Amino acid sequence: MNLSNPGLSRFDPLPRIITLDEFSRGHCGWSQLVGNYENTLDTMLPGYAQHTSAMLSTLPHWDAGSHGGMRGSYALKIATRPHPGAQNVAIKRLTFRKRGPIRFEAYFTFKPEATELKLGETDVRSVGFLFDLQGGDRDDGAERVMPHLRFLNAEGGQHLQKWQFKNETTKFQPVGDGEKTLSHYHLAPEGWQDLPGGSQRLCYNEIATKVNWSYLRFDFDLAEMKALSFQCNDRVFDMSGFDSIRMPAMKNLWCMLNFCLFAETDVARRAFLYVDSVCISGDF
């Protein structure tokens, strides 16, 4: 039973556990999102060129030592570069074997780098997650589908605290000297829309080094390629107005089941997204 398993009892998984990532055990397959390139890394789009590798962190801080993870010593740390609008993304690359409901659950927290003796509650612009999915090679009308959700914490120093989604991406463009390799930066700032009823005030503690862990759950149907539900802490949101980025299937991405976590800073200071653990499960 899940209730008797300390690793699973904090989650509400569907019947089949696809992966249980506890970052005290390592990176668990989460790596840097590297953009497409050809012949030279200089052909990578600027959005991807800013990305760096996710790290394992004890959440160290200068006033009391280390927080550690929620259940162990380490958490996954996704850190931006220190300039306004900088982003970073970690990705886990899988494929699926059956089309059905999947559930993504995680415990997370976020902070700016604690380089000043003040709270900095508006320094992190956003944190979020996305899926990158594609149907099988024999599916009729297969699409590439990319649900995106972000918590827009602040922008331009204004505390906004709301969930947003995206259903459009930037134009595909060739990289290198031919048409074989294409790229698009789907986390560009344009195109985000407010999730209806998506305002939410998350716990953000009183000084720059304190953190509190939050829970999120996102359910998606691979058969219908549509979102089913979304929860963060005690709030369950109406997803009837949500849609994903959609595009024609690409020739080499069949049965793709990718998951991404991302962070974005609003100031000239690094933003940190910490993830204690992730559970991905399915009803098949």
pLDDT in tens, 142-196: 999 999 999 999 999 999 999 999 998 877 777 766 666 777 788 989 999 999 9
Predicted pLDDT of residue 11:
97
Give the CA angle between residues 162, 164, 166 to the nearest 5°: 170
Whole-number Å distance between alpha carbons of 123 and 176: 36
Query: How far, in Å, CA of 204 to CA of 108, rounded?
Result: 12
pLDDT of 178 reads: 63
Distance CA 112, CA 263 (A): 10
Tens-digit pLDDT profile for residues 101-156: 999 999 999 999 999 888 999 999 999 999 999 999 999 989 999 999 999 999 99
CB atoms within 10 A of CB 89: 26
Mean pLDDT of 262-281: 98
Helix or strand (DSSP H, E) at 48: helix 46-49
Mean pLDDT of the chain: 92
Residue 29 in this model has a pLDDT that exceeds 70: yes
Distances (CA, A) of 222 to 131, 163, 169, 248, 278: 11, 23, 21, 16, 19
Nearest of 214, 273, 237 to residue 164 by alpha carbon: 237
Q: Name residue, tokens 């947003």.
A: 164
Decide which of 117 and 92 is more confident.
92
Q: Which of 89, 84, 91 is nearest to 112 (CA)?
A: 84
- Give percent above pLDDT 90 in the chain: 75
Closest CA to 56 of 35, 79, 85: 79
- Check residue 135 and give its pLDDT: 96
Q: How far apart are CA 154 and CA 247, in angstroms?
A: 30
Averaged over 22-43, what is the pLDDT? 86
